[in-house]
Structure 1
Amino acid sequence: MNDLTGGDSRLERLLDAMSPRDKAAQLFVLPVHGDAAHAADPRNRAWYGVDRPADLVARHRPGGIVYFGGEHGNLRHPRQIAALSDGLQRAARDAGTLPLLLATDQEGGAVTRLPRPATRTPGAMALAAARDAAAVRDLALLTARELRAVGVTHAYAPVADVNACAANPVIGVRSFGSDPRLAAVLTAAHVEGSQAGGVAATAKHFPGHGDTAVDSHTGVPVITHDRDTWERLDLPPLRAALDAGVASVMTGHLVVPALDPAGLPATLSRPVITGLLRDTLGFDGVVVTDALDMRGVRARFGDDRVAVLALKAGVDLLLKPPAGRFLTQLEAVLAAVRSGELTEERLHASARRVLRLKHRLGLLDDPFTDPAALARVGAPEHLAAARRAADRAVTLLTDRDRLLPLPPDARDLLVTGCGAAALGAELDRRVPATVVETGPDPAPGRVAGAVAAARGRDLVVAVTDRAWDTRTRPGQAALVTALNATGAPLVVVAVGDPYDIARFPGVPAFLATYSRTTEALRAAAATLTGHNIPRGRLPVTIPGPDGRELYAFGHPDV
């Protein structure tokens, strides 16, 4: 990314020419509906009073836009995304406002926004299983180049949370694991690779979302650590990100009484954001909130107060206001400036950090995509690197009956469980396999059908995915338990995180891929058939049902 030398005077001239409203608008990162800058969508009118994404940029002049797939429908194909990005940037230029930070969550693995043919890299826990910082750096670099090729310059990654809670419902495989030192090394490597590729990295979720069983999307996590525990457990990867020069930090909507006795979510806590992150840790980059439509930040305050309190706490960018609430939050910020609750200097300071990041990314000079770079999205060497990383991640936790690899004459296989069809398709490239798909939480009838199909097989492969949590969706655990009771040779393949093994520790064999990407499933199939040697080591400690250690961090010692 560009150096700031010589840019300060330019930034000050830009800031001096901006009204308080323009400065406040620069502090918002908004979602839009639709996949083209000039395509009307009635949801944009309901949320922003305009029909087209380009109209939103021209009228409201936000600091950034965040891309999503799904209901927002922004991400369909790399060429389409690049056209959307260029259309939005042209709208900003034609309206005489600043270029946009275009952002998305591109963590790899379970949280991957760019559609194929973009490269889908393994997620953090998979990379941690391989213990290869160079691969983390290289994959972050190629991801950044593909993001930049479609116009995205702000990545909400890496996850710097230490997943110390096996029951964590929202971090899990998104984390580099439960060991602070390993997480620190790999977090720094990701930051270095991403920013070498011209994309601002974001360490999240400060001050640490790893040791909680509550999802801040739906509740308010409370982290009960004392200060010493926080410094030992949560701080190392966050400090490593800062030492690596991370451009931005994302706040977590979580309460840490040891850091703020008032019990405010970190996003709204001045002692946490200004006192700890700014003053104690010395971070002067951009602080961005986690999405403001999440329950963790809305539980105690109205939407208008949330935006003002976040800025008072010391954040710079307000991400994803609740549906239809952007203008309410913008007007609340301006009212706070008029009343003196927020000073103009405070507004100016955050706008300066946002502009400084845009300058650092080169957006003030050229915010548009490069067609030559777009041609490299999903390049063969990128895909090969992702495949190699997925191969190295596969972890064999147990194989007490020496079922793996399959004997050359194995021909009667059953693949069943959550997402069995995808693994069955990969396995079928090497050996014929019957597939019985059960869905994420199979009812007793489906379990019985799979059990009947399992009898007499050379091997049964059961796929589990903790994205469909085996604790709250007990059908998966019931399926594995029933399959194991048949006496058929059974291998469980966990394509989510590896904690599932605690639900059925008596299975003969258990493989973890940490992901259900095509590359991860191909690696699992290759491992089952002896074409890939499982070299991964657990990046977490797995507790058993009684809370005692079932499998240690680093298992197996290969």
Structure 2
Amino acid sequence: MSDELTRLANSVLWPGFLGTEAPEWLLAELRDGLAGVVYFGQNISDGMPELSAALREANPGALIGIDEEGGSVTRLESATGSTLPGAAQLGAVDDIEASRATGAELARRARAAGVDVVLGPVADVNTDPRNPVIGVRSFGADAALVARHAVATVDGIQSGGVSACVKHFPGHGDTHLDSHHALPVITLDTSVIEDVHLEPFRAVVAAGVDAVMTAHIVVPAWGEKPATLNPVVLGKLRAMGFDGVIITDALDMAAIRESVGIGGGAVQALAAGADLLCIGNPTNPGSAALPDQDERDFLAARETIVAALRDGTLPRERVEQARDRVRALAAKLQAATPTAAAPYDAAAIVRRALRVVGEADAAASALAVVDARRRSTLAVDSAAGYVAEALAGDGFRVRLDVERASDAERDAALDAASAAGGRVVLLVDRPEVEPAQRALIDQVAGRDAGAVVVNVGLPVRGELPLPFIDAAAASRVSAEVVRELLIR
């Protein structure tokens, strides 16, 4: 009986793992019915097709997912930076065909790596400019714009024989907390949530999206539990007519790990109506992560589910329903015939998305880049060096942790940039909501009126004391296109 329950629990679990080769424990679980795996940056190498083939040899029906959005969020290109436009750039261009083509190209790249589920696009309406976790991952702050581009991107992805998983239901766009580190509470009137934040999800459900990911956020009017664990919230998704796979955001994120725990979260998520439990990125605990954190997190979820099935606190019928949805998706993907992706020019889309204010594009012979972006988060590699590297080219660049830097450290970085020759470029990502970034802009303006600000975060709504370029993504292709604009 325990073996049967173990296989049932495995059929709804979707762990991440450490390393670029499949560990033996993972292969053994795949042979014992594990639903599949999720790839993160630590899994990426030149051997992705071979890795995916090894996983499917262990379980031919395995779903292999990846957290790949383009723009500021990439796993496939985590070492060098994304060469796809991000959602905010696509929203700025507001060209449905560009979003559809980007989805198709994303699917082509995923299939080449042996991946068949893309955790994207983001369908959150980013209505809070302080948002530390969504921001430029969203198509914008207008529900109708987000809805039409989410639908187009889903269409592009799924026409490529890959499942899209829109996220983060019921909408993570109006929060100023990161659920990787805390449990955000959404205090909006529920009519605003229904009219604004749920609208893109209604649109993608109507368009036939294969999967939807939950958010670890609390809407007090709908109960005290976060959406991932809340049957009221997940019931709203089913009431929209969605009968696909509900995938949880990672259960090892602090919002769940440090409240009910991974095991408790797994049981509660299934009971609430989730189908596939993402155990996610085993580096989520940060410095506390152990060498076998991947297996530990997986077993914490699996063993708790088996115990709940055995004592009847988790109905077996509910887990079997979830398993059947997951298997149906796997069967659909195995039978899929992808449409061939058309020729694609990411740089052309990014150029259309740039917003240039003032004499930002005045010709320069060289650039001296001061990288003052915020520190990286678990969701977004905000401070990735490839952005400054691509922007500076062979020129000077320096990283400045502006939130922690002393006055002397700031002065030394700016002095070095000025002495390097060329035009000083201040690289930022939150110039209107991070006081330290704005203060640095003012300081540079007082020293060098010829400097330029390159903002890879949400577009500037007001004015800055220097010319600036809103690029709307911390990606390699964005940096390369901006450099082309600045260097003549």
Answer yes or no: is the 8 Å Cα contact 2:369–2:392 preserved in 1: no
1:455 CA displacement: 8.3
Tell me the amino acid that sits aligned with residue 333 of structure 2.
L
Is 2:156 aligned against 1:193? yes
Q: Corresponding residue for 2:37?
A: 65
Task: Say which SS state the counterpart of residue 498 (structure 1) adopts.
Answer: coil
**C-alpha separation in 1, matches of 2:260 and 2:63:** 28
Q: Does 1:392 align with 2:346?
A: no
Choose from 343, 352, 359 the match for 2:315: 343
Alignment of 1:536-547 (within 5 A): none
What do you get for the CA RMSD once the two structures are aligned?
3.0
| Counterparts of 1:478 and 1:508, CA distance in 2 | 12
1:296 correspondence with 2:263: no
Deviation of 1:151 after TM superposition, in Å, equals 1.0
Structure 1 counterpart of 2:312, one-letter code: G
Choose which of 246, 251, 263 in structure 1 pairs with 2:209.
246
The aligned residue for residue 362 of structure 2 is 406
Alpha-carbon distance in structure 2 between the residues aligned to 1:438 and 1:227 = 42
Q: Which of residues 72, 90, 95 is equivalent to 2:57?
A: 90
Separation of aligned partners in 2, 1:117 and 1:481:
31
Distance 2:245 2:53 in 1: 24
Alpha-carbon distance in 2 for matches of 1:84, 1:461:
41
1:308 has 2:275 as partner: no
TM-score between the two structures when normalised by the length of structure 2: 0.86
Inter-CA distance 457–146: structure 2 relative to 1 (3 Å threshold): closer
Match of 2:7 in 1: 22
Q: Return closer, same or farther for 1:353/1:471 CA change in 2, 3 Å cut-off.
A: same
Query: How big is the shift at 1:494?
Result: 0.8
Note if 1:142 corresponds to 2:102.
no
Q: Greater CA radius of gyration, 1 or 2?
A: 1
User: Out of 106, 131, 135, which is 1:168 matched to?
Assistant: 131
**Post-superposition CA distance 1:435-491 (Å, at most 9, x none):** 24133324423321344353897743211134xx886682x4343221101252232
Per-residue Cα deviation, 1:239-258 (whole angstroms, up to 9, x for no partner): 11111100000000000123
Match of 1:33 among 18, 25, 32: 18
Partner of 2:371: 417
Of 56, 63, 67, the residue aligned with 1:101 is: 63
Conservation of the 8 A alpha-carbon contact between 2:205 and 2:242: yes
Superposition map of 1:150-165 within 5 A: 150-165=113-128
**1:407-486 matched pairs, under 5 angstroms:** 407=363, 410-411=364-365, 414-418=368-372, 435-441=396-402, 442-452=405-415, 453-454=417-418, 459-466=423-430, 474=436, 476-486=437-447
Query: Aligned partner of 2:7: which letter?
Result: D
Retained in 2: the 8 A contact 1:454–1:483?
no
* Paired position in structure 1 for 2:170: 207
Contact 2:371 2:388 in 1 (8 A): no
Equivalent residue pairs, number: 458
Q: Deviations over 1:19-73 (max 9, x none)?
A: 3432221100011222223xx5xxxxxxxxxx45423423x4310101112xxx3
Shift in CA distance, 76/345, structure 1 to aligned 2, threshold 3 Å: same
Report the Cα offset of residue 415 of structure 1.
Answer: 3.3
Long gaps (5+) in structure 1: 1-17, 41-50, 94-98, 531-558
TM-superposed deviation, 1:332: 2.2
1:149 Cα deviation from its structure 2 partner: 1.8
1:14 paired residue number: none
d(CA) in 2 for partners of 1:424, 1:344:
52
**Equivalent residues in 2 for 1:174-189, closer than 5 Å:** 174-189=137-152
| Cα displacement (A) at 1:299 | 4.2
3-state SS in 2 of match to 1:293: coil
8 Å CA contact 2:122, 2:150 repeated in 1:
yes
Secondary structure class of the residue paired with 2:152: helix
Do 2:400 and 2:413's aligned partners in 1 also have CA atoms closer than 8 Å? no
Alpha-carbon distance between aligned partners in 2 of 1:341 and 1:121, rounded to the nearest angstrom: 45
Q: Quick one: distance in 2 between partners of 1:350 and 1:292?
A: 17
Counterpart CA distance in 1 for 2:10 and 2:161 is 24
Q: Contact 1:286 / 1:354 at 8 angstroms: preserved in 2?
A: yes
Equivalent position of 1:517 in the other structure? 475
Q: Describe the shift of the 1:118–1:91 C-alpha distance in structure 2 as closer, same or farther (beyond 3 A).
A: farther
- Note the C-alpha offset of 1:361: 0.4
Contact 1:220–1:299 (8 Å) recurs in 2: no
SS of 2:252's partner is coil
3-state DSSP of counterpart to 1:361: helix
1:143 maps to a residue whose letter is L
Q: Of residues 38, 48, 52 in structure 2, which corresponds to 1:81? A: 48
The answer on whether the counterparts of 1:118 and 1:146 sit within 8 Å (CA) in structure 2 is no
In structure 1, distance between residues paired with 2:101 and 2:365:
39
Q: Distance in 1 between matches of 2:110 and 2:392?
A: 33
Shift of 1:529: 4.5
Residue 232 of structure 1: how far off its partner (Å): 1.8
Question: Structure 1 residue 217: deviation in Å?
Answer: 0.7
2:123 and 2:201 in contact (8 A); partners too: yes
Unaligned runs of 5+ in 2: 283-292, 373-382
Aligned partner letter, 2:352 = R
For residues 76-132 of structure 1, the C-alpha deviation after alignment (integer angstroms, 9 at most, x for no partner) is 12xx01000001111225xxxxx2100111111111111379972111111111111
Q: 1:104 touches 1:113 (CA, 8 Å); kept in 2?
A: yes
Q: Report the Cα offset of residue 347 of structure 1.
A: 1.6
Identity, in percent, stands at 37
**1:325–1:529 Cα change, 3 Å:** closer
**Whole-angstrom distance in 2 between the partners of 1:118 and 1:449:** 28
Alignment of 1:102-121 (within 5 A): 102-115=64-77, 120-121=83-84
* Structure 1 residue 425, shift from structure 2 partner: 6.0
Change (3 A) 1:528 1:305: same
What's the offset of the Cα at 1:392?
1.2
